[in-house]
Structure 1
Amino acid sequence: MNSFKNIKLYIVVLFCALFAGCNEDYLDIAPTDRVSDASILSDTTLFEAYVINRYLGVRLTDKEGDGSVPGFGRGFEYALWSSLTDESIYNNDDNTWVIQQGLLSPENTGIAGTLWGRSYRSIRECNYALINLPNITMSESGKARLTAELKFIRAFRYHDLIRNYGKVVLRGDNVSMLGDDFTDPSLFERASIEEGLQYVLAELDEAIAGLPTQNNNNWLEGRATKGAAMALKSRLLLYAASPLYNGGATGSAEQWQRAAQAAQDVMDLGIYSLYQQGYSDMFTASESHQEVIFARFYNLNQRHTALEIANGPNGYDAWGGNAPLQNLIDDYEMLDGSSFDWNNPSHAANPYANRDPRMSETILYNGSQYRGRAVETFLPGGRDSQDGPSNWNTSRTGYYMKKFIDESLPIQNPWQVAGTQNWLYFRYAEILLNYAEARNEASGPDASVYEAINSIRQRNGVNMPPLPTGLSKDQMRERIQHERRIELAFEEHRFYDVRRWMIAETTENEPAYGIDIRRAQDGTLTYQRKISLQGRRFLERHYWLPIPRQEILASNNVLEQNPGYN
């Protein structure tokens, strides 16, 4: 494993410019844990390190960024974003159930409460760098690259704000200080969704023009490329054409075609392709590979949450963590491409046989081979059930996560050993799915739509049958939505997909199902679905998150709250 390749990328640099007002004297004591503004602005190396660190965030709440500071998403956390959806529930809550049970409010935002603050903090940090970059002693080509990187990072943060809150405050290049007049309404005026999207897309076009096509050495890996910015543009344009962003109606053919073209532009780069060495292996590979467009790479000095102990079965003395829901398991097709059906006696008698191979690569279920033995979630006596060791960590659903898990890493005493996976923010399969959806909506299910979906279904290690020919536009839409659910499970897409499609009032109001497996004395097994978390609920207002109450109060109540949360 090339463990040292990204050490430079995540040097942690703390200095006063991060914090408005920290240039004021404080007991006249010079802090020893920060680098001064003057040092950063006079040292090219320190300034570049500051820019690089904008790929990271800051820990704003308990358990966030455990083992490392947060990145752009929830990938290396205990409770994943999937546990706010019909993909999984988090065994020990960790402020996720408030969202699953529809109790979200401005005063109680659960694990979603830091998005607004962290995003605007990062935007301010990017603005600080952009304002000062012209005065840094550096080659013009170096300045151009850093400018493009900062615009990409800032665009990513705005994309996170838009997809969670809808209307956002556009700060331009402003750097607000504590002495500014925070009663000025312009500081808190939320732009329309369309204005926000137009701003971010323009920023991305500038970033694309200035970023390299590829990072050509290990020291640069993990920094933005043209492909990364183009992938973000593809995602944003897909969202922009979706019903949630158009008042509940699907976007125009022109909007969908623009989204399709953005995905096609990534495909036309000719440098990305589907990983063919095993579906689950792409998430544990120690090196970058052909499917990775943009990732947070493992860093020897910044190990992340040890996913194996956090999510593993209690029979191994692991903690259960993000427990997959039966809702997801039921959606994996049979090997022949037909739907799984509990009313089919052969399916019900052996529900894990002859299923889409991605299921066994994503989820540990009763009978899965894991670390030298079969997983046992049956009762009585199953080692990974309530009758097993560490039973307080038994999965509430009867399932455990396998995706992202590296069996070569230890469960016991993983500290300073595990936490070495890379987290893929953008991968090529998403781009193919973006293209298929947008092209289908723009002009129907032509050959290119089939080709995009079938290439994912028929990659090595998956080998699912191609989609049936002759599908209508509506039928293809359902197939594409299903394929996104399966292919991108646990990768932070489902939360946003069901909202932008405006189907969350159906999917998120389904009970949170698990499985109860009973073994008779003769060894035969019977399966019965159960409710694993009571009171799951989604209301219309939940299509957007509430802005935390403290942010509204900090604006002297000028900042507009999202509808339904006042």
Structure 2
Amino acid sequence: MKKYIYISVIAAASLMHVSCDDFLDTVPHDALSPETTWKTESDADKFLTGCYSKWIDDGTVLYADCGSDIGYSHHLHEGWKYIGNGGMSAGVSEVANFYDFNAIRNFNDFLANIENVEFTSQAKKDDMIGQVKTMRAWQYFEKNWYYGGVPIIESYETAEEAQVPRNTEAEVKEFIYKELDEAIPMLNIDAVEAGRINRGVALSIKMRSALYYGDYARAKQAAVEIAKLGLYDLEPSSVDNPASGYKKLFLIEGQQSKEIIFSVVHDQVIMSNWMVATMYNNADGGWSSMVPTKNLVDMYEMTNGLTKDEAGSGYDPAHPFYNRDPRMAATILYPGRNWLTIDGEVVVINTLDEEIDGKSNPNDPSGVDNASKTGLTWAKYLGTGPTYYADMWNANANTIMFRYAETLLSFAEAKNELDGPCDSVYVALNKIRFRAGMPSVDKGKYSTKETLRELIRRERTVELAGEGFRRVDILRWKDNNGKVLAETVLNGELKRYVGTVNYDETVPEKRAVISEDTELVEKRVFVSHNRYLPIPQEYIDLNSKLVQNPGY
């Protein structure tokens, strides 16, 4: 099964280059003219390779939760701190920028010029067209979600022609739907080459976009079609090691998993994953660029299936990491855990004490900038020991973009919103929970659409934590009063644990002894216009027909 994107940046650069004209990044200039290159199937395939160079950004996956209540980014230049705390503005350069049309420009050129090539197989030509339409749909979907309506551009000859207004959000959504509906039947069920989009990828984008837009019937249909392909399943856990399959997914040994529908593949030579290094805490030489928060810890159920606030749960606020859903340990590096450093030393993670053995603690949150300010670190993708990554700044870690657990969760959410509780919803949720070593859903407690919705949202958050879903989810979900969830969870103070590490304790989950106090990480604000990002001012200045999003 081919499910990876592997891009040769050298090959891609030789085929296409960024325009010298900055105008909206919409004016196409091919490095090689169509008259001399669009002759054979081989030419088309080379240009298709070029299209893959910018179609999807796995950095967004790693950072996006920092724009939510479960993640935090401390470094301004990385673009997500202001999205998380509401400090965005059109003139602030330290805000993640998705307003780049270079990739779309290349897709337009490909789709126009492929019609000039004679193919020996119509199916091969259709598959290529389907791949590029899927890429274009993804690019517009990402822009439409973050900015609302954006221009649906053509391959303009001049900068003057490119001065076009924004299409409405609804118009862009319909364009995305049309692209995907046309692409899906064109695509091979399994990619004919490594690095190419297959039908499962396009269906995953169809499912995700429909769910985000609240088109639940369409989302459910796409999820069912993914399952019917018969290509994907959850990575199983061993009987004696709960969540081992879940943990394996994000490590090198899990890169061939049937659960992965699509991942961005990195090697240590051509296209290494340097971002993994930024995820490590300071003592390991990392930057703590994106880290989880106490809010996420609070969401995990206890091993008995009760939330921490329910009577009889067994939750002890002095030991918040003890007896929790096994996915927490597979997702979060918390104080008290054993850890094998990049130097090969077994240590106890300590992000609570200012000093250790009379020396300054390099992971003290109140210390140096590269220490996690929440006192927590993502565990996903972080291998341990000196030999796991030969060089963590040039790692061969693959970033998962679409996996089957999302399919199950999306089906459960869409089905519940359409029809309320039913067996198929419980089956989908239990499949995920059983893999993690968690008990089945209590049908008595979660027997209504409203109570089951609460569980589905919690299950989605903890299962997909650190994978870039939470920001969007809290923008699209509403509480029982019709209020956008982000208005509740992103207004207030972001805090971290205070306490000490008891090195005499033999149970790692109980070594962290947390006091009743917490320390402030930052104050956060969310107002209604923060639903969308501001279009960067530079593009407004270049195109007089662009209208800025309200509030900016």
TM-score by length of 1: 0.82
CA contact (8 A) 1:20 1:176 kept: no
**C-alpha deviation, 1:158, in angstroms:** 0.8
Give deviations 1:373-415, integer Å, cap 9, x for gaps: 3212231434899523795222211111211112256599826
Between the aligned partners of 2:386 and 2:147, the Cα distance in structure 1 is 38
* Residue 470 of structure 2 corresponds to residue 473 of structure 1: no
Residues 437 and 478 (structure 1), Cα distance of their counterparts in 2 relative to 1, 3 Å cut: same
- The correspondence for 1:97, drawn from 68, 81, 85, is 81
| AA of the residue aligned to 1:335 | T
Q: How far, CA to CA, are the matches of 2:147 and 2:359 in structure 1?
A: 39
- Bigger Cα displacement from structure 2, 8-17 vs 287-296: 8-17
Match of 2:408 among 426, 432, 448: 432
Aligned to 2:24: none
Shift in Å at residue 38 of structure 1?
4.7
Residue in structure 2 matching 1:257, options 199, 214, 217: 217
Assess if the C-alpha contact under 8 Å between 1:342 and 1:348 holds in 2: no
Which residue does 2:546 correspond to in 1? 559
- Is 2:269 the counterpart of 1:292? no
Letter of the 1:223 partner, please give it: R
Cα offset, 1:176, TM superposition: 1.4
1:370 aligns with 2:339: yes
Once residues 32 and 439 of structure 2 are traced to their aligned partners in structure 1, the CA distance between those partners, rounded to angstroms, is 58
Counterparts of 2:358 and 2:299, CA distance in 1: 24
Q: What pairs with 1:66-465 in structure 2 (closer than 5 Å)?
A: 71-75=56-60, 80-94=63-77, 95-108=79-92, 110-113=94-97, 115-117=98-100, 120-139=101-120, 140-171=122-153, 174-183=154-163, 187-191=164-168, 193-216=169-192, 220-241=193-214, 255-277=215-237, 278-286=245-253, 287-341=255-309, 347-371=316-340, 372-382=346-356, 387-388=361-362, 392=368, 393-407=370-384, 414=391, 418-459=394-435, 462-465=436-439
Tell whether the 8 Å contact from 2:76 to 2:94 is kept in structure 1 after alignment. no
Note the residue ranges of structure 1 that are not aligned, 5 or more in a row: 23-32, 58-69, 242-254
Partner residue, 1:28 = none
Q: In structure 2, do the counterparts of structure 1 residues 415 and 404 end up closer, same or farther at CA, with 3 Å as the change threshold?
A: closer
Task: State the alpha-carbon separation in 2 of the partners of residues 261 and 101 from structure 1.
Answer: 36
| 1:167 CA displacement | 1.7
For residues 214-269 of structure 1, the C-alpha deviation after alignment (integer angstroms, 9 at most, x for no partner) is 125xxx2231111111111111111221xxxxxxxxxxxxx422322221111122
Q: Deviations over 1:513-564 (max 9, x none)?
A: 21122257987834345344322111110011111112122112x1122222
- 1:332 Cα shift? 1.1
Q: Which residue in the other structure is 2:526 paired with?
A: 538
Corresponding position of 1:66: none
**1:511 pairs with one of 466, 471, 493:** 493
- Letter matched to residue 379 of structure 1: D
Question: Aligned equivalents of 2:16 and 2:504: distance in 1?
Answer: 69
- Of 45-54 and 487-496, deviating more is 45-54
Q: Secondary structure at the match of 2:278?
A: helix
Q: What is the DSSP-based 3-state SS (H/G/I as helix, E as strand, rest coil) of the residue aligned with 1:464?
A: coil
- AA matched with 1:84: G
Is the Cα contact below 8 Å between 1:15 and 1:36 reproduced in 2? Answer: no
Q: Deviations over 1:62-92 (max 9, x none)?
A: xxxxxxxx84342587xx1222211221233
Per-residue CA distance 1:297-355 (angstroms, 9 max, x = gap): 22443333435532223233333232211111111111011112499995112211100
Q: Which letter maps to 1:488?
A: L
Please say if residues 362 and 401 of structure 1, whose CA atoms lie closer than 8 Å, have aligned partners that are also in contact.
yes
User: Counterpart of 1:252?
Assistant: none
- Residue 53 of structure 1 aligns with which residue? 50
Instruction: Tell me the distance in 1 between the aligned counterparts of 2:218 and 2:291.
Output: 38
Mapped to 2, the partners of 1:40 and 1:386 lie a distance apart of 61
Q: CA deviation at 1:497?
A: 0.7
RMSD: 3.1
Greater CA deviation, 141-150 or 11-20? 11-20
Cα distance in 2 between the residues matched to 1:394 and 1:384: 18
Q: Distance in 1 between matches of 2:202 and 2:5?
A: 20
> What is the Cα deviation at residue 141 of structure 1?
3.0
For 1:316 and 1:204, locate their aligned partners in 2 and report how far apart those are by CA, in whole Å: 43
Question: Which SS does the other structure have where 1:149 is aligned?
Answer: helix
Distance apart, 1:15 and its partner CA = 5.5
Which SS does the other structure have where 1:14 is aligned?
A: helix
Letter in structure 1 aligned against 2:81: W
Task: Please state whether the residue corresponding to 2:401 is helix, strand or coil.
Answer: strand
Q: Percent identity?
A: 28
In structure 2, relative to structure 1, the CA distance for the partners of 1:425 and 1:345 (3 Å cut) is closer
Query: Which letter maps to 2:198?
Result: T
Match of 1:493 among 469, 478, 491: 469
Match of 1:250 in 2: none
Alignment partners' CA distance in 2, 1:551 and 1:136:
35
**Structure 2 CA distance for partners of 1:182 and 1:308, relative to 1, 3 Å:** closer
Distance 1:540 1:389, change over 3 A: closer
Q: Which moved more, 1:462-471 or 1:434-443?
A: 462-471
Q: CA deviation at 1:111?
A: 3.5
Question: Please, which moves more after superposition, 157-166 or 294-303?
Answer: 294-303
**2:351 and 2:363 in contact (8 A); partners too:** no
* Residue ranges of structure 2 left out of the alignment (5+ in a row): 22-29, 238-244, 341-345, 478-483, 506-510
Report the number of matched residues.
509
Alpha-carbon contact 1:190-1:559 (below 8 Å) kept: no
CA distance in 1, matches of 2:159, 2:392: 43
Contact 1:222 1:295 in 2 (8 A): no
Higher mean alpha-carbon deviation, 517-526 vs 505-514, is at: 517-526
The residue matched to 1:264 in structure 2 has which SS? helix
Secondary structure class of the residue paired with 2:458? helix
| Counterpart residue type for residue 283 of structure 1 | F
Kindly provide the CA deviation profile for residues 181-213 of structure 1, in whole angstroms up to 9, marking residues without a partner as x: 345xxx22322x332222211111111111110
The normalised TM-score by structure 2 is 0.84
